[in-house]
């Protein structure tokens, strides 16, 4: 049955159409993969029963020839997406038993296209983290151990989403990306991860971390699968004031487009940032592939990009401090009883939130508080404007920007847990994109000396996911990356 786990969505769908196997067989395989993979701790909630039931319906649709674009495809969903009737926790004690009475727009789009929910995936608590170590439900392990045979982190915050796909559990997953939470874990696990332009996907029903930055996106094995999922999840949603009405192009088609004559920018500012040697090597390799495919490499400058991280660590916590105020012990599951309302609030929130979440709420409260707003929050929003302007100027010269997704490959579990600032620095390449609302993706290119995947990031202009999909597709073909970690988690 091994062939199931190596198939892409595209291949699976054609096999299902050919009746090589049924949806029920496919789902049974993935359910057993999920059960065998529990040591990875990728799933918080397994929805095997729901999946088996829907598989029967999907099989009927195939036999009637009424299959929808993602009919029968098992997909894991980050536990930040509200799923109707299925526990949704944000990996927090605060929502330990929260069962949403509604379904997020993007997941509904998937189900409407025939996809099947396999389970809810672990992530950093409220999507705050870069290693999936802040989850109330425990850390997620990267399927890729390093050459010292030590466990590594899958990245975060969509760690469970990346791990599940890398381990062949489910054919794809959904993550959310506020400062790199899709691209960094994709990079760490050898998967493809894409954050669409802000406004492409509805945020309705996604538990908010930082509203002006959050965006949903897919993690997949291949660039084409990524495009397929994108076609399904993107939609205009009147329930989200920041949802775009722009036409949604055929993303899959973009993966077949040649990149000949495309101008691809490489920011000179990237060079200074302590990138590991193996990654630098692959940046160069990638350049060669792109030039061989007919693209033109142009050096560009993003002069304010080095301020993106501190800017982000004002804006995101500020929004989060307000977004997370609703978790107060009144409406949702977790409450610590107390005699008076203030104690109830304070104890509930103290015990319901983990350290990183509390840290960010505190930073956010501080930067918004009276007397500090101008110096921090307002200042950061001005810096954000400057960063956006940098990108605007760059995109007047190039079609896409190319560079590494992360400064290093996956680090060992526990390595950066003690120093929050060091952890934050891991998002140096991903964060600027969120501040400017641009689409970006990570595509795997190879392994470093520690036997860990390296991902390259492509950044597109606003509402131009197509260019980066075309380029990613070209890199994918040249890199011939084999997503095949040693399956240590299966005890047989």
Q: Binders of other proteins among 336-365, rule CB under 8 A?
A: 337-347, 349-350, 353, 358-359, 361-363, 365
Q: Return the residues of window 71-130 that contact other proteins according to CB under 8 A.
A: 81-82, 88, 90, 95, 97-102, 104
User: Pick from 128, 226, 314, 441: which binds other proteins (CB under 8 A)?
Assistant: 314
Closest CA to 438 of 310, 265, 207, 278: 265
Residue closer to other proteins by CB (options 136, 313) is 313
The Cα 40–Cα 31 span in angstroms is 14
Residues 209-248 as x/- pattern, contact with other proteins by CB under 8 A:
-xxxx------------------------xxxxxxxxx--
Contact 309, 317 (CB under 8 A): no
Contacts of residue 218, defined as CB under 8 A and 6 or more positions apart, other chains included, come to: 172, 173, 174, 175, 182, 193, 194, 225, 226, 229, 230, 233
Residue closer to other proteins by CB (options 239, 260) is 239
Number of residues that bind other proteins (CB under 8 A): 102
* Range in contact with other proteins (rule: CB under 8 A) among 41-49, 135-143, 334-342, 453-461: 334-342
CB atoms within 10 A of CB 465: 30
* Range in contact with other proteins (rule: CB under 8 A) among 111-119, 221-229, 285-293, 308-316: 308-316
Least distance in angstroms from the C-beta of 80 to other proteins: 8
User: Pick from 434, 467, 470, 473: which binds other proteins (CB under 8 A)?
Assistant: 434
User: What three-state secondary structure class fits 389?
Assistant: helix
Q: Which residues are catalytic?
A: 78, 157, 181
Closest CA to 455 of 232, 196, 231, 276: 276
User: Pick from 307, 407, 478, 488: which binds other proteins (CB under 8 A)?
Assistant: 307
Residue closer to other proteins by CB (options 104, 408) is 104
Task: Give residue 205's region: left, alpha or beta (phi > 0; psi -120 to 50).
Answer: left
User: Pick from 50, 69, 273, 310: which binds other proteins (CB under 8 A)?
Assistant: 310
* Range in contact with other proteins (rule: CB under 8 A) among 16-24, 33-41, 117-125, 327-335: 327-335
Least distance in angstroms from the C-beta of 373 to other proteins: 7
- Residue pointed to by tokens 């990346």: 162
Q: Return the residues of window 184-203 that contact other proteins according to CB under 8 A.
A: 198-199, 203
The Cα 306–Cα 459 span in angstroms is 16
Kindly state the helix (H) or strand (E) to which residue 44 belongs, with its residue range.
strand 43-46
Instruction: Determine if 368 is a binding residue for other proteins (CB under 8 A).
Output: yes
Cα-based distances in Å from 399 to 120, 254, 462, 469: 36, 14, 11, 12
Residue closer to other proteins by CB (options 140, 311) is 311
Instruction: Tell me the CA end-to-end span of the chain in Å, nearest whole number.
Output: 15
């Amino acid at each position: 049955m091994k062939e199931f786990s190596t198939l892409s969505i595209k291949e699976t769908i054609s096999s299902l159409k050919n009746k090589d196997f049924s949806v029920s067989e496919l789902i049974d395989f993935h359910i057993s993969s999920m059960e065998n993979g529990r040591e990875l701790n990728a799933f918080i909630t397994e929805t095997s029963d729901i999946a088996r039931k829907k598989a029967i319906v999907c099989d009927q649709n195939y036999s009637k020839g009424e299959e929808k674009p993602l009919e029968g495809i098992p997909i894991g969903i980050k536990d930040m997406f509200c799923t109707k009737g299925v526990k949704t926790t944000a990996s927090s004690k605060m929502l330990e038993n929260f069962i949403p009475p509604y379904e997020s727009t993007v997941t509904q789009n998937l189900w409407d296209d025939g996809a099947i929910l396999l389970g809810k995936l672990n992530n950093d608590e409220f999507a705050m983290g870069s290693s999936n170590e802040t989850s109330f439900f425990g850390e997620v392990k990267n399927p890729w151990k390093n050459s010292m045979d030590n466990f590594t982190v899958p990245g975060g915050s969509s760690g469970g989403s990346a791990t599940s796909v890398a381990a062949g559990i489910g054919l794809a997953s959904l993550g959310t990306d506020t400062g790199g939470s899709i691209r960094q874990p994709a990079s760490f696990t050898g998967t493809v991860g894409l954050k669409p332009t802000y406004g492409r996907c509805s945020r309705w029903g996604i538990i908010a971390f930082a509203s002006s930055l959050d965006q949903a996106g897919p993690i997949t094995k291949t660039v084409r699968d990524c495009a397929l999922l994108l076609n399904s999840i993107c939609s205009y949603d009147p329930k989200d004031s920041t949802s775009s009405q722009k036409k949604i192009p055929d993303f899959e088609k973009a993966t077949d487009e040649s990149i000949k004559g495309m101008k691809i920018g490489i920011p000179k500012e990237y060079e200074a940032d302590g990138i590991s040697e193996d990654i630098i090597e692959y940046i160069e390799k990638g350049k060669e592939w792109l030039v061989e495919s007919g693209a033109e490499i142009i050096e560009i400058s993003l002069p304010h990009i080095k301020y993106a991280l501190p800017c982000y660590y004002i804006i995101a916590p500020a929004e989060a401090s307000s977004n997370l105020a609703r978790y107060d012990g009144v409406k949702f599951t977790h409450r610590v009883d107390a005699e008076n309302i203030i104690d109830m609030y304070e104890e509930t929130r103290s015990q319901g939130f983990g350290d990183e979440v509390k840290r960010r709420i505190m930073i956010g409260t501080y930067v918004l508080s009276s007397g500090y707003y101008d110096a921090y929050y307002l200042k950061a929003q001005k810096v954000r404007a400057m960063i956006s302007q940098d990108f605007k100027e760059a995109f007047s010269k190039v079609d896409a920007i190319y560079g590494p997704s992360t400064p290093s490959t996956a680090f060992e579990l526990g390595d950066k847990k003690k120093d929050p600032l060091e952890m934050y620095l891991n998002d140096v390449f991903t964060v600027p994109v969120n501040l400017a609302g641009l689409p970006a993706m990570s595509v795997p290119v190879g392994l470093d000396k520690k036997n860990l995947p390296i991902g390259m990031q492509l950044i597109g202009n606003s509402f131009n996911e197509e260019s980066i999909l075309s380029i990613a597709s070209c890199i994918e073909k040249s890199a011939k990356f084999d997503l095949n970690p040693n399956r240590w988690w299966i005890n047989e």
